[in-house]
Amino acid sequence: MNNDKLEIKSEGIRRSDKACLCNEKAKLITGSLSLSIFSSKIAVHQVPHYFCDQCKRTYFDSATDIDVVLKRAYHLGLSEIDYIAGRSQFTYKVELLNDLKLSIEQVLINNTDIASGEEFAVVQNNQVIVGFREEECFIIEKVIDKVI
């Protein structure tokens, strides 16, 4: 039986370490990395990855889906992104309270006629939510208090 430690994550089961090319063990850590996509460098924060202290190599497992996060950041023109937010269906370019975020998400999920690549302005209560949709992701650019 394998004695490797396992860690349960929302993406599935992950080993706490894995064999490295240098024959040492790379440990599972969560932290910030500077990664490249095309000619751009993007800082990804709070990303789970394996790091070998001996040879300084970094590895990802398939559950990480780091390419999805990098592509989203690249298409949005971001130089940094939070890993968890990058995997979310919603990206906020403005600071909002969590209650307001949940309310906005509920409205947008129920609004199925917003197509990919389309900008939107949705009125909810006394506010207008402005943004655009990129494939399955909604990017919220601003929330405006409605003036009557």
| Domains by residue range for the chain, with CATH | 6-86 (3.10.20), 89-145 (no CATH)
- Taking only the tens place, the pLDDT of each residue in 58-104 is 999 888 888 888 887 887 788 888 887 666 667 677 777 777 887 88
Give the span between the Cα atoms of 86 and 73, in whole angstroms: 7
- Taking only the tens place, the pLDDT of each residue in 3-26 is 344 343 444 456 788 999 999 999
- Residue 34 confidence (pLDDT): 95
- Residue 21 confidence (pLDDT): 94
Q: How confident is the model at residue 54 (pLDDT cuts 50, 70, 90)?
A: very high
> 3-state class of 88 per DSSP?
coil
H or E segment and range at residue 13:
strand 12-15
Give the span between the Cα atoms of 52 and 55, in whole angstroms: 6
Mean pLDDT of 27-35: 93
- Residue 63 confidence (pLDDT): 80
* Out of 44-58, 73-87, 116-130, least confident range: 73-87
Mean pLDDT of 109-113: 74
Give the span between the Cα atoms of 82 and 47, in whole angstroms: 8
Which tokens go with 66? Answer: 């780091």
H or E segment and range at residue 63:
none
Question: Between 76 and 42, whose confidence is greater?
Answer: 42
E strand spans, 38-126? 40-51, 58-59, 80-82, 90-92, 119-124
Amino acid occupying residue 103: S
CA dihedral (41, 45, 47, 53) positive or negative: positive
Q: If we measure between CA atoms, which residue out of 137, 103, 140 comes closest to residue 120?
A: 140
H or E segment and range at residue 33:
strand 25-37
Using the structure block, give the residue that is written with the tokens 């969590």. 98
